[in-house]
Structure 1
């Protein structure tokens, strides 16, 4: 049996707003185009999650909502600017075999590098831009059995390429 991780950085957020905090920053126009593009790519490649665990920030919530994946999501403060260790712990508590985590850099990029045995052959994997999404498979029957560097990178995409920008 395998478990599949879909690791998504939130779509592009706005910086030119008067919101009271970083946590409250919304997506910008490009981000609102990018989230559905990533979702279409996921659906088109058979990578739809069974469970979504996301940061509680406004931009991660908007990213999830615009994806319209038709699965429930849990929004947690724990993933707001989480580091690799926290992402690992949250994933180990997942209950479904196909899990999407939505979060922020630099934690998402560091976690992506640490969780797969070999990175995907993609020029943007190292910097993990907004909306970047990794799909990785793990030869485990339960997320509790997850170990570092054990994933096989199956796919990787960034919205700008999908949108032809």
Structure 2
């Protein structure tokens, strides 16, 4: 069985004036959310054989916060193809994974990550899948599994095991009130 955990980067700082979107950092709420999600991964005893991630600054900072919360250093394979990747590109990257890895964490951006989850998980009317379709917020984790290898995963072929948003763990990380 293969398990793919998909993490969207934490909330970035639009107030920071950077020359490129690629260099946009996290804001304070994003840093807190990343640590909360790292603690969640630790508490659930999730282990990863491989971590693949976009090298964008907000992903780098997200994974630093996740590592802090997780309590262990993470070995990360940075893949530029994951930066703002479509679901099709993300699926290509999944198909290239070695079968020596059973538990993979993929970290990147929307809308590609949300589209990937929605394409891999059948639309069965479940509350959890409907939540993914409603909104895939920053620093949110979706965990999917399937029997087979990385090359066999196809549309509708995965089981959505969990979908956890930062606000599910800490209500102060919910949407900002205006």
Q: Does TM, scored on the shorter chain, surpass 0.5?
A: yes
- Check if 1:87 corresponds to 2:90: yes
Runs of 4+ more than 4 Å apart: none
Q: Deviations over 1:24-79 (max 9, x none)?
A: 00000011001111111122123232211111100011111211153311111101
Matches of 1:61 and 1:94, distance apart in 2: 21
Contact in 2 for aligned 1:53/1:74 (Cα 8 Å): yes
Please list every run of 5 or more consecutive structure 2 residues that lacks an aligned counterpart in the other structure: 173-178
Matches of 1:153 and 1:124, distance apart in 2: 11
CA root-mean-square deviation = 1.5
Residues 36-45 or 64-73, more deviating: 64-73
Contact in 1 for aligned 2:120/2:153 (Cα 8 Å): no
Matches of 1:18 and 1:81, distance apart in 2: 19
Alignment match, 2:176: none
Structure 2 counterpart SS, 1:102? strand
- Check if 1:156 corresponds to 2:149: no
Alignment match, 1:131: 139
- Check if 1:72 corresponds to 2:75: yes
Contact in 2 for aligned 1:47/1:135 (Cα 8 Å): no
Matches of 2:164 and 2:119, distance apart in 1: 18
Alignment of 1:13-162 (within 5 A): 13-68=12-67, 69-95=72-98, 96-118=101-123, 121-122=127-128, 124-126=131-133, 127-140=135-148, 142-162=149-169
What is the deviation of 1:161? Answer: 2.0
* TM-score normalized with structure 1 length: 0.92
Structure 2 counterpart SS, 1:101? strand
Count the aligned residue pairs.
163
Contact in 2 for aligned 1:49/1:71 (Cα 8 Å): no
- Bigger Rg, structure 1 or 2: 2
Contact in 2 for aligned 1:118/1:153 (Cα 8 Å): no
Matches of 1:146 and 1:58, distance apart in 2: 29
Residues 143-152 or 103-112, more deviating: 143-152
